[in-house]
């Protein structure tokens, strides 16, 4: 693998957008995982990288949603590999100050790629359609593909495989669940969702995930009872009950999601070898207990670290020289 990794930027991801987890095949994911594992070992061993495959590359970061992990991991990752992140803050004003098309047509003349974290998924798809440079979805209301890549890489590190693993997502059928369902289906996993009534996933995304699962030996299960669906799971995954932009729904959501917390009893029901996962930020005492997220079976902070490694891997395969 080390010999194969020596050739930078010649893989199937070269100059490609990443808008949805469904954009990536099994081979694409494996390519990113292999590169990420190499970069992770190298950084941990030497606190630096031997090469600078992103030297001379500039990536614009458009972060319309508040961020810790996304901004730090993309900025640090680009810096570690010789590139430069240009943080544009929250003031682009798509559709107000300037059209999405004009933003795309300007940025393509100045930078090598665009990382965008925004609200409506349509902004990302339009930006990608109009820009002559790669566009990378760092979160929309519909999907969170880099998070799913990091999560699956983390599971692969822990269990040594993905095919046949069972992950149960407890809570909202949200953007993180959507990307996990799509990516997990491609990798032959069973992805379950236990959600309260009225908080289910997008039916079109579930239908696509089911199609991908059927083609790759995976399975998609959607239901209500977290205890029933947790049984026999390799991983229990949860996310905040109230996301950015949903603050006005806080009271209703907290009431609806009562009983959907990942606690010790639910983790034990999953199995003795089951792990707990969370994309962070976490609200201890709501969607997950402190005992679980800070306990020995939690992979939450490994997931957070692996955002750095998979994003670097993807950027190298997409923009590297």
Residues with a catalytic annotation lie at 117, 144, 147, 239, 279, 307
Place of tokens 């699962």: 213
**Tokens (6 digits) for 256:** 């609806």
What is the Cα–Cα distance from 287 to 257, expressed in whole angstroms? 8
> Contact at 8 Å (CB) between 29 and 185?
no
What is the number of alpha carbons within 13 Å of residue 234 lying toward its C-beta? 18
How far is C-alpha 124 from the geometric centre of its chain's CA atoms?
A: 15
Q: Cβ–Cβ contacts within 10 Å for residue 95, how many?
A: 12
**Tokens (6 digits) for 240:** 């905040």
Angle between helices 100-107 and 121-130 (to 10 degrees): 50
Which segments of the chain are extended strands (E)?
58-63, 84-87, 113-117, 135-137, 166-170, 190-194, 219-223, 235-238, 275-278
Q: Under 8 Å CB-to-CB from 19, ≥6 apart: which residues? A: 121, 124, 125, 128, 135, 137, 143, 145
């Amino acid at each position: 693998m080390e010999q194969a990794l020596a050739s930078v930027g010649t893989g199937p991801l070269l100059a490609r957008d990443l808008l949805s987890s469904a954009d990536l095949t099994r081979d694409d994911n494996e390519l990113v995982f292999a590169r990420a594992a190499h970069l992770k070992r190298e950084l941990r061993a030497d606190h630096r990288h031997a090469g600078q495959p992103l030297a001379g590359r500039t990536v614009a970061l458009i972060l319309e949603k508040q961020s810790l992990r996304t901004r730090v991991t993309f900025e640090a990752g680009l810096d570690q590999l010789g590139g430069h992140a240009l943080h544009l803050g929250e003031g682009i004003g798509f559709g107000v100050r300037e059209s999405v098309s004009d933003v795309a047509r300007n940025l393509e003349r100045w930078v090598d790629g665009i990382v965008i974290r925004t609200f409506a998924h349509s902004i990302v798809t339009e930006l990608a359609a109009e820009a002559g440079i790669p566009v990378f979805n760092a979160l929309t209301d519909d999907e969170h593909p880099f998070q799913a890549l990091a999560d699956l890489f983390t599971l692969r590190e822990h269990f040594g495989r993905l095919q046949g693993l069972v992950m149960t997502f407890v809570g909202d059928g949200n953007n993180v669940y959507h990307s996990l369902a799509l990516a997990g289906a491609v990798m032959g996993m069973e992805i379950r969702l236990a959600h309260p009534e009225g908080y289910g996933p997008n039916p079109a995304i579930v239908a696509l995930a089911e199609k991908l699962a059927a083609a790759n030996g995976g399975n998609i299960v959607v239901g209500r009872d977290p205890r029933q669906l947790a049984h026999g799971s390799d991983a229990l995954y949860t996310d905040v009950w109230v996301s950015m932009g949903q603050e006005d729904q806080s009271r209703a959501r907290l009431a609806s999601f009562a009983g959907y917390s990942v606690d010790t009893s639910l983790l034990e029901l999953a199995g003795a070898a089951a792990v707990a996962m969370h994309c962070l930020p976490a609200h201890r005492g709501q969607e997950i207990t402190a005992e679980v997220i800070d306990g020995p079976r939690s992979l939450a902070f490994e997931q957070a670290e692996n955002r750095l490694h998979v994003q670097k891997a993807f950027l190298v395969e997409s923009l590297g020289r």
